[in-house]
Structure 1
């Protein structure tokens, strides 16, 4: 059986994974050093295992910790891992920046949830309100074998399916492609645009539109717009196409797709892990 070590088991992300792993058949060592996290484990009837003990016994180690800490923590963890073991990271950032330590006899694997899709067949209230996934709503995941033997991909995907369950499908991609999906597509672009949608609604409210009317109007139209763009349910009207072009010229700078260039992806991740660098970046154009 595959023995697991979950680092950060009592944290925000770790608790969601812990709740799934307690249902699995694998032996699991839960590692947590912070008092709040330890209390979260106690609520689940679990006791933390010291990191060195857990890692040295594990066939697969999961880092459920913030991206900014992965570089430092991985140095400690990888040093204690046994030959042939697998280190799983849940975000491509640290691996893409080359922050994982060099050790050829340890496998590096990355997995990340896609989160439950907007268009789904969920019927229970619990699943409908499970926006992040890993509880009741089905989601897809993406996986990448960064280094190590090919047979370790299957093991990594299997564990990823368990920690992010229920999983409807898994996509195998490269770590470079995962970095393009997050942060570039999902955070730099998509999350930014969604915050602008929220600001647009708030501006309408400031101009006198009742809040509930503005919210209903915005969310209803977003639903249609997503259906048109991603499900091809209907084309935009001619008048709407004109408005779209007007908005594009007013709000979107030329060359924004350069964000997908490798050097720009690297820059985005570097700034995310070192927020102080954002102050000095020249992004206006």
Structure 2
């Protein structure tokens, strides 16, 4: 991309409404606001100033807050930090993990478990699992759950899987693929 010296380059990306908003009386519209920016659910955003001053950053951040409102928190990052978050973290790691959950749900249904029962069971357990693993819940897994978790990690995940996705070469390739390959 050609960089013009007379322009400010500000990069912003919404974090999207959280799985755990921790808000009293959250409206149904806010609960169903998947992307944010429509005024229903609060969300955070990440921002970076590629070219410009601190004053430019403040001006651009204020504009971004209006564009994606309602914004709760805004995090100032570098461009390099932003590409660790996306595509590496959310598109190359968390999306495949969630896709794997969906595939496992479908496998349960194929084995004869009623879909409504599978969905109720997995969604409830996901809440507990996210709560425990991200330190929201304030309690640990049971010994049996910890053993099953440990055993499954060795089956599901390859050695060095995080580094294989989050190293700079892999991130740069992913960014290049996204920005060049899909536009062909």
Q: Do these two structures clear the TM 0.5 threshold for a shared fold by scoring above it?
A: yes
- Partner residue, 2:8: 107
CA distance in 1, matches of 2:167, 2:68: 30
1:148 to 52, 57, 73: 52
Between 207-216 and 121-130, the greater mean CA deviation after superposition: 121-130
Match of 1:238 among 143, 156, 162: 143
Q: C-alpha offsets along residues 118-176 of structure 1, whole Å, 9 cap, x if unaligned?
A: 11115211111111111210000000001122210001110110111000110000010
Aligned to 2:157: 252
CA distance, structure 1, for counterparts of residue 47 and residue 146 of structure 2 = 37
Cα distance in 2 for partners of 1:229, 1:268 equals 28
Q: For residues 159-198 of structure 1, what are the structure 2 equivalents within 5 Å? A: 159-198=63-102
Distance 1:232 1:118 in 2: 12
**Cα distance per residue 1:235-254 (max 9 Å; x no partner):** 11111111111111111011
Aligned partners of 2:11 and 2:48: how far apart in 1?
A: 5
Go from structure 1 to structure 2 and tell me whether the alpha carbon gap of 1:275 and 1:248 turns closer, same or farther (over 3 Å shift). Answer: farther
Cα distance in structure 2, aligned partners of 1:107 and 1:204: 52
Equivalent of residue 270 in structure 1, options 171, 176, 180: 176
2:118 to 202, 211, 214: 214
Instruction: Choose between structure 1 and 2 for higher RCO, CA contacts under 8 A separated by at least 6 residues.
Output: 2
Cα-Cα RMSD: 1.3
Larger radius of gyration between Structure 1 and Structure 2 = 1
Partner of 1:19: none
Q: Displacement, 1:269?
A: 1.3
Q: TM-score, normalised on structure 1?
A: 0.60
Q: Hey, what's the Cα distance between the residues in 2 that align with 1:250 and 1:275?
A: 32
Gaps of 5+ in 2: none
Q: CA deviation at 1:275?
A: 4.0
Per-residue CA deviation, residues 185-215 of structure 1 (Å, 9 max, x unaligned), is 1111001100110000000010110110011
Q: Could you tell me how far apart the structure 2 residues matched to 1:142 and 1:191 are?
A: 19
Deviations 1:13-66 (A, max 9, x none): xxxxxxxxxxxxxxxxxxxxxxxxxxxxxxxxxxxxxxxxxxxxxxxxxxxxxx
Question: SS of the counterpart of 2:134?
Answer: helix
Q: Which runs of 5+ in 1 are unaligned?
A: 1-99, 277-285
The reply to whether residue 126 of structure 1 matches residue 29 of structure 2 is yes
Equivalents in 1 of 2:63, 2:34: separation in Å? 21
Alpha-carbon offset, residue 231 of structure 1:
3.2
How far, CA to CA, are the matches of 1:169 and 1:145 in structure 2?
A: 17
Instruction: Give the secondary-structure state (helix, strand or coil) at the position aligned to 1:165.
Output: coil
